[in-house]
A = this chain, B = another copy of it.
Amino acid sequence: MEQKYREIFERINQSRRILLTFHKSPDGDCTGSAFALYYALKSMGKSPEIVSPEGLPFNCQFLNRDNVVKEGIGEEDRYDLTIVLDLSEPKRLMKGIDVTNRERFGYVINIDHHITGSGVGDMVVQIPEASATAEIVYDILKVNGVPFNRDIAKALYTAIMTDTGSLRYSSTTPRTLMIASDLLNYGITAWEISREVYESEPKARIILLSYALSTLRFELNDRIAYMGLTLDMISKAGATDDMTDQFVNYARSIRGVQVGLLFRETPEGKVKVSLRSKDEIDVARFSIQFGGGGHRNAAGIVLSCGLEESMKKVIEALKEYLK
């Protein structure tokens, strides 16, 4: 892999204008990976640009201190090199970023840690063993001798921390913790980042959490726990759609619960269902019957009926599935 990492820097050295972009519904990993590369490239005298298909997650806004993230590309914009981060499926790219158009986007490198998908562009670096795309970016910068600074370390730490659920998920390896340890040597502390990521919650989000928890119901001897959020609750809390991220984990976190679910009305008149399971229970396989899918322990479904009806349908089917 070292050879490939050196090639990436040869490409960077040959380029001036460099586009950094990532997937829709951006998370902390793609955001942090982009900022780490941004500051590394800046220090090398390059002109990098970060373009996000859909803003930044609420708990990563602090990384955009210099206000550099653009939400679109101008008609005239041309790049020598495009680096696509944390993306495994072309359809998750921003509309308008056509990576087959070399004239506009130059050479295209895709850096990703997903297990599925085949990547996009001229060079694909896909390492599923990495806890986060940021772990790969860390290696690329280290192999090429880039001097680390506070900005780079902060962005990478944020990315790894958010993508591993605060260094808790099964993706967290001894190496992940070694990297986290090393990053704390560059003028950042775990607390300053945790504070931004986990202790700067929008007030509306905590109020919405209280509404969500108040709807908690159980089925099948508490092996299923689920919650339902109406559009009314979201609006009453003054919240936005994206703020329900992670709520479903409260249902799963209960002892004995094997599947936790969150049902949520969307402005489009649908119901989005998030499913989280423990261990061997495969909610992706379960979700297929409703046209949904995902990973074994984290899947999603979209239904076109009302909230109560959606709950009834999915919970009844789930009870059968878990029998």
- A-side residues, CB < 8 A to B, are 164-170, 172-178, 180-182, 184-185, 189-191, 194-195, 198-203, 206-207, 209-210, 213-214, 216, 218, 222, 250, 252-256, 278
Per assembly, the copies of the chain total: 2
| A190–B209 CB distance below 8 A | no
| Chain B residues with CB below 8 A from A166, complex form | 166-168
Q: Quick one: given A167-B166, A174-B184, A181-B178, are A254 and B201 in contact (CB under 8 Å)?
A: yes
Bound state CA distance, A167 and B202, in angstroms?
23
Looking at the assembled complex, report how far the CB atom of A277 sits from the nearest CB atom of chain B, in whole angstroms: 11
Looking at the assembled complex, report how far the CB atom of A171 sits from the nearest CB atom of chain B, in whole angstroms: 8
Bound state CA distance, A167 and B207, in angstroms?
26
| B168–A194 CB distance below 8 A | yes
| B170–A191 CB distance below 8 A | yes
| B214–A214 CB distance below 8 A | yes
| B191–A172 CB distance below 8 A | yes
| A193 to chain B: closest residue by CB | B168
| B206–A250 CB distance below 8 A | yes
Q: Which 4 A-B pairs have the closest CB atoms?
A: A210-B213, A177-B181, A168-B194, A170-B191
Looking at the assembled complex, report how far the CB atom of A261 sits from the nearest CB atom of chain B, in whole angstroms: 14
Which of B165, B199, B210, B222 contacts A203, CB < 8 Å?
A: B222
A sample of 13 more A-B contacts (CB under 8 A), given A168-B190, A201-B255, is A164-B190, A168-B198, A169-B194, A170-B190, A170-B191, A174-B184, A178-B181, A200-B253, A200-B255, A202-B255, A203-B222, A206-B213, A214-B214
Looking at the assembled complex, report how far the CB atom of A317 sits from the nearest CB atom of chain B, in whole angstroms: 23
Which of B168, B184, B214 contacts A210, CB < 8 Å?
A: B214
| Chain B residues with CB below 8 A from A184, complex form | 172-174, 177
| Chain B residues with CB below 8 A from A194, complex form | 165, 168-169
Bound state CA distance, A180 and B179, in angstroms?
12
| Chain B residues with CB below 8 A from A173, complex form | 184
| B169–A199 CB distance below 8 A | no
Bound state CA distance, A81 and B123, in angstroms?
63
Name 30 interchain pairs, CB-CB below 8 A, sorted by A.
Answer: A164-B190, A166-B167, A166-B168, A167-B167, A167-B180, A168-B190, A168-B191, A168-B198, A169-B190, A169-B194, A170-B189, A170-B191, A172-B184, A173-B184, A174-B184, A174-B185, A177-B178, A177-B184, A177-B190, A198-B253, A200-B253, A202-B255, A203-B222, A203-B255, A206-B253, A206-B254, A207-B213, A209-B213, A210-B216, A214-B214
| Chain B residues with CB below 8 A from A250, complex form | 206, 209
Bound state CA distance, A169 and B190, in angstroms?
7
| A165 to chain B: closest residue by CB | B194
| A279 to chain B: closest residue by CB | B195
Looking at the assembled complex, report how far the CB atom of A298 sits from the nearest CB atom of chain B, in whole angstroms: 13
| A59 to chain B: closest residue by CB | B255
| Chain B residues with CB below 8 A from A175, complex form | 181
| Chain B residues with CB below 8 A from A198, complex form | 168, 253
Bound state CA distance, A168 and B168, in angstroms?
11
